C-alpha cells in the first residue's frame, strides 16, 4: 500500500528493522520478529509494541523508504503485509521511477518528484472509495489493518475505528475497535496473546452505556449469551451513537426490509460512512420531534433568535430546514417550537445585514423574524428557491406591494372559504366518502343548551380561541407550555378533530396529497384479501355500544378507511386494535382526516405496532418496565416479576387506553397522545400503577391484580364531558362501582404530568432503540427454540449441534443480504409464516453452506451434486429449502445406515432430482402472495403429512441406463481423494460389471431360445461393451471430465444398446454393493460432525458469496 510520504528518524530504527534490498534512492526493510527468523522474545515484544502504538508498522512488517545519497532524511512511501506485496511495489519503482530520477540535478528535485508521484498514486486509488472520509490517509492504514486481521469478504465496508480496551474478565486488553457496515470487530495483541472478536450487528441482544465500580464508563455489548465491555474510549458518546446507528441500520435493513430509497447516504451498504450515519441520525431526530414524514431530511441548521409576539421578546433556538418545512425549536427552556410548511410562505424580505435578520411572511397575516443568523443570506436564498419566490431587486424593493397582494388574497379566502379547496388542488370527494365527523352527525351540539357541562365546554372553546389569537392557528401555530396546559385540561369536542390533525402532522400529509384517499377508496373497492376478511370480521366489534357504529353510516366509513389503509400499506395490512383506534378517530374527524390520522399513528407515532409480531408494542412494554424500575421502586421491591405489567399493559399501548377506559375519558388520553406521543401513554401508565400501588402490593396473584386495575378503570369518569348517556360507554367491569371512589380523567392526567412530566422524549426514543434489539432477538430465539424442538424429533443430532447448525443456516441467509439493498434473498425470510418456514435458503445459499458441511471433503463436481440434492429435498418445488429439510439431509449423510445413505444417493439419480431443465435453471413456483390465504390447501397439506407413510426400498422405481451411468460417476466423485481410492474404484467397476452381467442373464432367460443365441448379444460382448461405457479413474477425477464423459457415454449407450433398454432395482444395487467391504466401510466410517461445525463457523464468512 502506498503511503503519504512522511519523514522518519533512523537513529534507532535499525534495532527494529532489517534491510533486505536497497539502491541509490530506495530501501526495502523487514520488521524484526516477522518473516524468516521471526518469533521468539523479539517477535513477542515487537508484536506487542506494534499493536499498542498507532503506527503503520504494527500491521505492515515490510516497508519501502526513499532517500538521496547526499541527505540524511528518509521518507516512508510504501508498506506491505506480505513480501509479495512489497516486492510488487519495489519492482514498480524500479521500472517506472529509477530511470526518470537520473535526469534531475538536485536531491530536492528528486525527493519532490517522488513525493508527488506517490501522492498521485494514492489519490488515484482513493478517488472513489475514500473521498467521503475525514482523513483518507489514516483511514487507508486502518482499512489495511482491518482487512488483514479479520479476513472478511472484500465487500465489507469499514465505517470507523477507535482505540479502546476490551475486558476479558478483570483484565483489560488494549487494542482497536473496528465498526463496519455489518460487523463489530476488535483486535489486540499483547505479549503473544492475540484477541480477535467478530460480532455481526444482527446478532446483538443488548447495546448500552454502563458504569461500574471497576469501569467508570464503558459500552456493554451482549451477543450469543456473552457480555463484552469496551472502555477507555476517547470519544465514548460518539462511539456509542455510531454503534447504535449501525445496529439500528442492520435491524431495519435485514429484518424490516427497509430500502432507504429516500436517503442516499444509507441506500448502498458498500458506501456507508460515519458522516452519512450522523446525518441520518440527525434527520431521524428532526422528523420525530416535529412529526414529519419519512420523506423529509434535515438539510440546514442555523442558530438564531426568533421574535415571539405573545411574549414580546426574542427566544434563542435553532432553525431546521428540510425539503418542505421551516421549523424552529427554542433552547431556553420555554418549550416553544414552530412548524411552517414552505407552501405557506408567501414572501421573504431582503436580509437585514445590521442584525443579520431574515423575515419570512406566511399566510394568515403573520410574519416570522429570525435575527442573529450567521448564514442569514444563505438561509434567505434557500427559502426563496424552495418556495419559488423571485429574488430579483425589483421584487425585493417592492415587498410592500407583495404584502398588499397577499393580504388581498387572504381576505378573499376568508370571504370565500370554498375556494381554499381549489387553491390547494383537492379533488371533489366521492359521494361515498363521508365529509362530516360522526360525532356531529349522531350528537350535534345544542347551541341553546345552557346546562353546566355545556357552559364549561363553551368556556374551553373560548380559552382555545384566545390561545389561537395569541399563538396562531393552523399549520404555523406556536407550540408552547400553555398549549400543553390546555391539552391537559381537556380539548373541546368541536376542536378535537382539528387539533388532532395539527398535533400529529396529518394536516400536512393531507394537504400535500389531495385526492389520494378518494383514489385509494376507489382502487380498494371490492378487493378480497386476508386483510379485508379480518376487517369485515371486526367491524361490528368496534365501539359496539356507540350509536354511530350501530348504523350503516359509521360501519361503512370504518370499512372504507381500514380497507384503504390496508391497500396503501400491505406490509401492515390490518391488525387487531386498528379498528378500535379508527372508530374513535372517525367520531371526531372527517373520513379523509381519519385516514391520515391513522397513517400518522401507524407509520410515525407508533412504528412497528400494527404487524403480525407487534414488535413496536413489545418494545414500548420493555421501555415501560424500565420506567417502572426508575420511578416506582417500592412497587419493584414487592413485585420482583415485572412481566405481569407487560402483559396487562399491552392493550394500553395498542389502543391508547381506549379499550379499558370509557370512551368519554379515553378521548382525553388520545388528546395528550397526539401532542406528546408515546410519552403521554407511558406517563399515564405510571400514574395508574402509582394510584393503585398499595392495592397491587397486597395482591397474592396476577388475577387479583388484574381485577384491581379493571375496577379502577371502571371508576374513571369525565365529569366535564358534554356527551349524553346514550353516547357514553357503559362500564365493562363489575357493577359494584359504588364502593370505589370516582377518579376524574383530567385529574389523573394532570397528576401524570406533574409526577412524571420530567421524562424526556429523547430518553424514550433512546430506550426504544436499546430495547428493540432485545425484543427482536427474543422473538428470533423463540423461533429458533421452536424449530429445534420440532427438528430434534426427526434427527439424531444433539440439541447443541442443532443450535449451532441453525445459527449457520440463519447466517447463510444474511450473508446474501449484507452487501446488497433489497437483496432477493430477503424474501426468503418471512416472520409471519410458521416457524419452520421463516428462514429458507435458495439454491446458491444452500450450495455454499452444504459445501461447508458435506461429509465427503474431497468430493469433485460438488455443484452438480448440490443441485441434485437441492431438487430432491425441495418437496414443494418453490425453489427454497427450510431448516428441517436441510437437517434431515445431513442426518442421513452423517448418521444414517449404509442402506439409507445408498438409498439417498440412488434417489438423487431419479426424477425430480436428476431431471434438469434444459437451461439448468431451477424453476420456482410463484412467490407467496400476501393476499388471501387458501386455508383448505394448508389443511390438505397437513393431512397428507399425517397420513404419509415411511418409504421402503420396494417403493423406489428402477434406475435406467443413463441414470445408472451417472450413479456410478457420482460414486467415483465421492471416493476421489480418499486414502482407499484405488480399491474403491475397483469395487465400483466390479459391481457395475456384475450388475450388467446379471441383467443380461435375466434378459436372456426371458427371451425365446432362437433369439437369445444371436452372436452380437452374447453375454461376454454385452458385458465388455458396457464396461467400456463406464468412466475410469482418470475420467472421473475432475468435474469437467465427469461432465464430458457423462454426455459422451450417454450417447454411446444410446447408440450401442438402443435395442436392449436395461434397468436395475434398488435391491439389486444394494445387494451388489454389500458384497464390497471397502465400499461398506467407506459409508459406515464415522465422520466427526462437531468438527465440521467448528470448521464451518470459521470458514463461512471467508467464502465469497454470489
- State the pTM of this model: 0.78
Q: Quickly tell me which residue has 413485585 as its cell.
A: 639
Query: Which of 766-771's residues contact partners 24+ apart within 8 Å by CB, and which partners?
Result: 767/622, 767/623, 767/626, 768/619, 768/620, 768/623, 769/244, 769/248, 770/206, 770/207, 770/208, 770/244, 771/619, 771/622, 771/623, 771/626
Please report, in angstroms and rounded to a whole number, the separation of the first and last CA atoms in the chain.
27
pLDDT (0 to 100) of residue 34: 67
For strands 366-371 and 358-362, give the pairing.
antiparallel
Beta strand 74-80 with 325-330 is: unpaired
Rounded-to-10 torsion of CA 1063, 1066, 1071, 1077: 110
- How buried is 1104 (Cβ within 10 angstroms: 0-12 exposed, 13-18 middle, 19+ buried)? exposed
Q: Torsions phi, psi of 166, nearest 5?
A: -110, 130
- Which of the residues in the chain have pLDDT under 50? 54-58, 127-132, 392-403, 405-407, 409-410, 412-414, 417-431, 730-738, 917-933, 1010, 1012-1013, 1015-1059, 1105-1106
| Residues 393, 230: Cα–Cα separation, whole Å | 59
At residue 445, the pLDDT reads 66
Provide the 8-state DSSP code for 5.
E
Q: What is the DSSP letter of 833?
A: S
Instruction: Quote the pLDDT of residue 917.
Output: 46
As a whole number of angstroms, the distance between CA 647 and CA 640 comes to: 15
CB 196 within 8 A of CB 150: yes
Neighbouring C-alpha atoms within 13 Å toward the C-beta of 765? 19
Beta bridge mates, 1002: none
Q: Which residue has cell 420440532? A: 790
C-alpha distances in Å from residue 945, one per residue of 249, 928, 940, 1083: 40, 21, 9, 30
CB atoms within 10 A of CB 756: 21
Q: Are 533 and 574 in contact (CB under 8 A)?
A: no
How many whole angstroms separate alpha carbon 59 and alpha carbon 81? 7
Please tell me the distance from the alpha carbon of residue 878 to that of residue 321, in angstroms, as a whole number: 49
Is 64 in a helix, a strand, or coil?
strand
| pLDDT tens column, 636-652 | 888 777 778 878 888 89
Long-range contacts of 621-624 (CB under 8 A, 24+ apart): 621/645, 621/646, 621/649, 621/650, 621/653, 622/646, 622/767, 622/771, 622/774, 622/775, 623/682, 623/764, 623/767, 623/768, 623/771, 624/649, 624/653, 624/682, 624/685
Nine cell digits for residue 47: 508484536
Report helix, strand or coil for 992. helix
Alpha helices by DSSP H, listed for 37-195, are 40-52, 83-96, 98-101, 107-125, 136-150
The span from the CA of 404 to the CA of 821, in Å, is 52
Longest dimension (CA), the chain: 122
| Residue in the structure block whose three cell numbers are 450401442 | 1056
- Distances in whole angstroms, Cα of residue 78 to Cα of each of 136, 214, 1006: 15, 42, 82
Q: What is the pLDDT of residue 545?
A: 83
pLDDT of residue 438: 82
Q: Distance (Å, rounded) from C-alpha 537 to C-alpha 195?
A: 58
Instruction: Please give the angle made by the CA atoms of 795, 1098 and 777, to the nearest 5 degrees.
Output: 65
Residue with cell 508498522: 57
* E strand or H helix that includes residue 944: helix 935-947
Exposure on the CB side of residue 405, measured as CA atoms within 13 A: 8
DSSP secondary structure, 385-433, as one string? HHHT----HHHHHTHHHHHHHHHHHHHHHHH-THHHHHHTTPPPPPTTS
pLDDT at residue 171, rounded to an integer:
75
Contact 1104, 815 (CB under 8 A): no
Distances (CA, A) of 539 to 543, 573, 886: 9, 15, 43
Per the listing, cell 450515519 goes with: 277
Query: Could you tell me the sign of the dihedral formed by the alpha carbons of 287, 290, 293, 297, in that order?
Result: negative
Phi then psi dihedrals of residue 614, to 5 deg: 40, 50
Amino acid at each position: 500500500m502506498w503511503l503519504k510520504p512522511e519523514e522518519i528518524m533512523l537513529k534507532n530504527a535499525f534495532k527494529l528493522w532489517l534491510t533486505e534490498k536497497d539502491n541509490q534512492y530506495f530501501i526495502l526493510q523487514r520488521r524484526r520478529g516477522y518473516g524468516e527468523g521471526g518469533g521468539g522474545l523479539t517477535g513477542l515484544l515487537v508484536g506487542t509494541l506494534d499493536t499498542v502504538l498507532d503506527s503503520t508498522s504494527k500491521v505492515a512488517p515490510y516497508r519501502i523508504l526513499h532517500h538521496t545519497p547526499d541527505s540524511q532524511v528518509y521518507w516512508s512511501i510504501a508498506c506491505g503485509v506480505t513480501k509479495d506485496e512489497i516486492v510488487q511495489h519495489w519492482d514498480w519503482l524500479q521500472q517506472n521511477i529509477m530511470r526518470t530520477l537520473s535526469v534531475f540535478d538536485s536531491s530536492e528535485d528528486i525527493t519532490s518528484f517522488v513525493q508527488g508521484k506517490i501522492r498521485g498514486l494514492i489519490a488515484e486509488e482513493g478517488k472513489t472509495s475514500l473521498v467521503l472520509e475525514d482523513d483518507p490517509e489514516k483511514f487507508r492504514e486502518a482499512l489495511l489493518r482491518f482487512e488483514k486481521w479479520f479476513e472478511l469478504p472484500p465487500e465489507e465496508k469499514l465505517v470507523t475505528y477507535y482505540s479502546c480496551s476490551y475486558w476479558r474478565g478483570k483484565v483489560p486488553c488494549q487494542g482497536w475497535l473496528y465498526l463496519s457496515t455489518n460487523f463489530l470487530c476488535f483486535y489486540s495483541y499483547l505479549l503473544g496473546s492475540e484477541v480477535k472478536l467478530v460480532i455481526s450487528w444482527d446478532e446483538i441482544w443488548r447495546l448500552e452505556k454502563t458504569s461500574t465500580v471497576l469501569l467508570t464508563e464503558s459500552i456493554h455489548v451482549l451477543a450469543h449469551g456473552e457480555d463484552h465491555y469496551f472502555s477507555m474510549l476517547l470519544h465514548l458518546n460518539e462511539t456509542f451513537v455510531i454503534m447504535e446507528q449501525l445496529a439500528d441500520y442492520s435491524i431495519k435493513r435485514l429484518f424490516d426490509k427497509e430500502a432507504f430509497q429516500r436517503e442516499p447516504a444509507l441506500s448502498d451498504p458498500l458506501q456507508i460512512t460515519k458522516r452519512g450515519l450522523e446525518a441520518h441520525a440527525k434527520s431521524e431526530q428532526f422528523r420525530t420531534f416535529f412529526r414529519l414524514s419519512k420523506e423529509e431530511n434535515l438539510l440546514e441548521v442555523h442558530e438564531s433568535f426568533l421574535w415571539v409576539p405573545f411574549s414580546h421578546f426574542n427566544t434563542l433556538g435553532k432553525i431546521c430546514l428540510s425539503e418542505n418545512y421551516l421549523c424552529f425549536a427554542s433552547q431556553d427552556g420555554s418549550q416553544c417550537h414552530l412548524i411552517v410548511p414552505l407552501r405557506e410562505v408567501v414572501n421573504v424580505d431582503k436580509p437585514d445585514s445590521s442584525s443579520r435578520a431574515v423575515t419570512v411572511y406566511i399566510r394568515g397575516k403573520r410574519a416570522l423574524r429570525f435575527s442573529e443568523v450567521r448564514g442569514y443570506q444563505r438561509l434567505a436564498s434557500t427559502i426563496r428557491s424552495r418556495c419559488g419566490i423571485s429574488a430579483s431587486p425589483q421584487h425585493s424593493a417592492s415587498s410592500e406591494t407583495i404584502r398588499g397582494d397577499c393580504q388581498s388574497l387572504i381576505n378573499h379566502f376568508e370571504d370565500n372559504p370554498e375556494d381554499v379547496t381549489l387553491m390547494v388542488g383537492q379533488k371533489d370527494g366521492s359521494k361515498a366518502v363521508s365529509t362530516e365527523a360522526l360525532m356531529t352527525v349522531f350528537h350535534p351540539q345544542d347551541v341553546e343548551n345552557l346546562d353546566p357541562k355545556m357552559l364549561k365546554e363553551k368556556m374551553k372553546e373560548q380559552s382555545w380561541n384566545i390561545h389561537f389569537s395569541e399563538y396562531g392557528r393552523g399549520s404555523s401555530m406556536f407550540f408552547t407550555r400553555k398549549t400543553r396546559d390546555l391539552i391537559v385540561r381537556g380539548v373541546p369536542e368541536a376542536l378535537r378533530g382539528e387539533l388532532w390533525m395539527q398535533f400529529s402532522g396529518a394536516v400536512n400529509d393531507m394537504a400535500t396529497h389531495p385526492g389520494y384517499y378518494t383514489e385509494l377508496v376507489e382502487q380498494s373497492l371490492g378487493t378480497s384479501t386476508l386483510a379485508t376478511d379480518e376487517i369485515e370480521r371486526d367491524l361490528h366489534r368496534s365501539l359496539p355500544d356507540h350509536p354511530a357504529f350501530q348504523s350503516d353510516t359509521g360501519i361503512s366509513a370504518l370499512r372504507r378507511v381500514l380497507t384503504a389503509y390496508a391497500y396503501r400499506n400491505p406490509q401492515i395490512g390490518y391488525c387487531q386494535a386498528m379498528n378500535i383506534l379508527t372508530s374513535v378517530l372517525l367520531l371526531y374527524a372527517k373520513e379523509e382526516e381519519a385516514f391520515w390520522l391513522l397513517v400518522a399513528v401507524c407509520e410515525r407515532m407508533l412504528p412497528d405496532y400494527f404487524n403480525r409480531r407487534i414488535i413496536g408494542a413489545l418494545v414500548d412494554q420493555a421501555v415501560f418496565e424500565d420506567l417502572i424500575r426508575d420511578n416506582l421502586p417500592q412497587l419493584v421491591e414487592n413485585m420482583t416479576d415485572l412481566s405481569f405489567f407487560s402483559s396487562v399493559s399491552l392493550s394500553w399501548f395498542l389502543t391508547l387506553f381506549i379499550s379499558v377506559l370509557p370512551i368519554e375519558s379515553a378521548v382525553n388520553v388520545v388528546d395528550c397522545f397526539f401532542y406528546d406521543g408515546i410519552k403521554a401513554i407511558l406517563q399515564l401508565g405510571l400514574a395508574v400503577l402509582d394510584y393503585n400501588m398499595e392495592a397491587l402490593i397486597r395482591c397474592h396473584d396476577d388475577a387479583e391484580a388484574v381485577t384491581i386495575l379493571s375496577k379502577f378503570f371502571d371508576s374513571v369518569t369525565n365529569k366535564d364531558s358534554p356527551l349524553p348517556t346514550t353516547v357514553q360507554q357503559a362500564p365493562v367491569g363489575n357493577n359494584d362501582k359504588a364502593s370505589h371512589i370516582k377518579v376524574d380523567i383530567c385529574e389523573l392526567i394532570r397528576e401524570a404530568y406533574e409526577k412524571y412530566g420530567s421524562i424526556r422524549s429523547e430518553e424514550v426514543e433512546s430506550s426504544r432503540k436499546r430495547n428493540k434489539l432485545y425484543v427482536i432477538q427474543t422473538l428470533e430465539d423463540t423461533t429458533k427454540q421452536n424449530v429445534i424442538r420440532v427438528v430434534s424429533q426427526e434427527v439424531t443430532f444433539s440439541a447443541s449441534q442443532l443450535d449451532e447448525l441453525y445459527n449457520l443456516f440463519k447466517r447463510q441467509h444474511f450473508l446474501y443480504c449484507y452487501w446488497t439493498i433489497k437483496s432477493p434473498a430477503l424474501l426468503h425470510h418471512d416472520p409471519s409464516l410458521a416457524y419452520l418456514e421463516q428462514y429458507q435458503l435458495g439454491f446458491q445459499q444452500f450450495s455454499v453452506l452444504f459445501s461447508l458441511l458435506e461429509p465427503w471433503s474431497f468430493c469433485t463436481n460438488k455443484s452438480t451434486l448440490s443441485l441434485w440434492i437441492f431438487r430432491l429435498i425441495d418437496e414443494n418445488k418453490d425453489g427454497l429449502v427450510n431448516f428441517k429439510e436441510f437437517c434431515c439431509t445431513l442426518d442421513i449423510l452423517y448418521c444414517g445406515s449404509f442402506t439409507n445413505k445408498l438409498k439417498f444417493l440412488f434417489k438423487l439419480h431419479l426424477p425430480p432430482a436428476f431431471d434438469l431443465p434444459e437451461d439448468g435453471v431451477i424453476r420456482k413456483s410463484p412467490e407467496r402472495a400476501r393476499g388471501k390465504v387458501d386455508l383448505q390447501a394448508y389443511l390438505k397439506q397437513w393431512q397428507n403429512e399425517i397420513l404419509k407413510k415411511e418409504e421402503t426400498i420396494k417403493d423406489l422405481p428402477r434406475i435406467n441406463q443413463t441414470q445408472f451411468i451417472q450413479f456410478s460417476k457420482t460414486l467415483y466423485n465421492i471416493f476421489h481423494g480418499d486414502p482407499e481410492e484405488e480399491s474403491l474404484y475397483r469395487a465400483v467397476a466390479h459391481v457395475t460389471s456384475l450388475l450388467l452381467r446379471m441383467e443380461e442373464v435375466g434378459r436372456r432367460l426371458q427371451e425365446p431360445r432362437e433369439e437369445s443365441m444371436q452372436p452380437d448379444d452374447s453375454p461376454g460382448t454385452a458385458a465388455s461393451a458396457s464396461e467400456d461405457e463406464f468412466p475410469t479413474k482418470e475420467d472421473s477425477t475432475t468435474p469437467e471430465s465427469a461432465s464430458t464423459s457423462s454426455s459422451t457415454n450417454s450417447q454411446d449407450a444410446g447408440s450401442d444398446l438402443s435395442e436392449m433398454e436395461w434397468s436395475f432395482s434398488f435391491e439389486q444395487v444394494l445387494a451388489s454393493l454389500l458384497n464390497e467391504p471397502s465400499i461398506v466401510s467407506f459409508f459406515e466410517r464415522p465422520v466427526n460432525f462437531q468438527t465440521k461445525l467448528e470448521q464451518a463457523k470459521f470458514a463461512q464468512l471467508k467464502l465469497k458469496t454470489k
